[in-house]
Every structure is written in C-alpha cells, then in structure tokens.
C-alpha cells in the first residue's frame, strides 16, 4: 500500500511569509506525528495527533507553529511569519496500535519530508 505522503517536497519562502506543509498518513493509521530535522538540532518532535486531537504538542517551538488534522487523516502544519531559523526538513510519520511482547510496538513510518528554506 501507499506510504506516508508529504507535500510539497521542497518549499522556498521569504522571511515573514506563512507556509503550509501537508501530510497524508498511511491509510488506517490512527496516530500522526510531526518532527523537524535541522543541522544544529538533529531530529526534534513537534506534535502528535491521535485521531483529530493533539494530546502532545509540547515540541512546537513557538506560537507561530500550529497543526491540525481533519477526518482522522490528512494533517497540515502551518508556520506563520517564517524566520530563517525555521529552515529545516519537516518529517511526518504515522503509526497503528500494535502490541508485541506486552508492549505497544507502534512502529512509526515516515514520509520523505518537506525541505523548507526561508530566505
């Protein structure tokens, strides 16, 4: 089946503009995660959704960042008034509840990411 799909694959924007990044998870996956990968900070968690609600948004770096998920499927990460430090690869992952050995295994499967460059 289809994997996690992210669009656009590349986005170049000017400082101060708003951007929207889209993630289409694997069909049937109930959980969706956003991460950011940058040279200085490595891979950082941003937010996760269980269905349409976001129980953990602790990784969002500022109130310029927001995300929503509709219909338990597609998610959009919005960055308002972009800054140069927002330049990074934004990765989306999805997972399904799956128990193994008494633990929730819940492998997270990732998309190819959106490379955001803020000029």
- Positions in the binding site for other proteins (CB under 8 A): 31, 33, 35, 42-43, 45, 48, 50, 55-56, 59, 89, 91, 93, 95, 97-113, 115
Residue in this structure with the two tokens 């951007």, named with its chain if needed: 19
The 10 Å Cβ neighbour count of residue 65 is 18
Residue 30 structure tokens: 């109930």
Nearer to other proteins, 7 or 50 (CB): 50
Query: In the bound complex, what is the minimum distance in angstroms from residue 52's beta carbon to other proteins?
Result: 14
Query: In the bound complex, what is the minimum distance in angstroms from residue 63's beta carbon to other proteins?
Result: 20
Helices (H), strands (E): how many in the chain? 0, 13
Query: In the bound complex, what is the minimum distance in angstroms from residue 4's beta carbon to other proteins?
Result: 9
Nearer to other proteins, 16 or 28 (CB): 28
Residue 50 structure tokens: 């269980």
- Cα separation values, 37 from 28, 88, 105, 115, Å: 26, 6, 23, 9
Nearer to other proteins, 19 or 91 (CB): 91
Nearer to other proteins, 16 or 51 (CB): 51
Query: In the bound complex, what is the minimum distance in angstroms from residue 5's beta carbon to other proteins?
Result: 11
- Of 103, 64, 109, 105, the closest CA to residue 91 belongs to 109
């Amino acid at each position: 089946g289809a994997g996690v799909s992210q669009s656009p694959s590349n986005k170049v924007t000017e400082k101060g503009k708003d951007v929207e990044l889209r993630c289409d998870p694997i069909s049937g996956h109930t959980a969706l995660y956003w991460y950011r990968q940058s040279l200085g900070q490595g891979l950082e968690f941003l937010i996760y959704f269980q269905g349409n609600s976001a129980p953990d948004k602790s990784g969002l770096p500022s109130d310029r960042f927001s995300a929503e998920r509709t219909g338990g499927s597609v998610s959009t990460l919005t960055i308002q008034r972009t800054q140069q430090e927002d330049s990074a690869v934004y990765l989306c992952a999805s997972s399904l509840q799956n128990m193994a050995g008494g633990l929730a295994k819940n492998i997270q499967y990732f998309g190819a990411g959106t490379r955001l460059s803020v000029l």
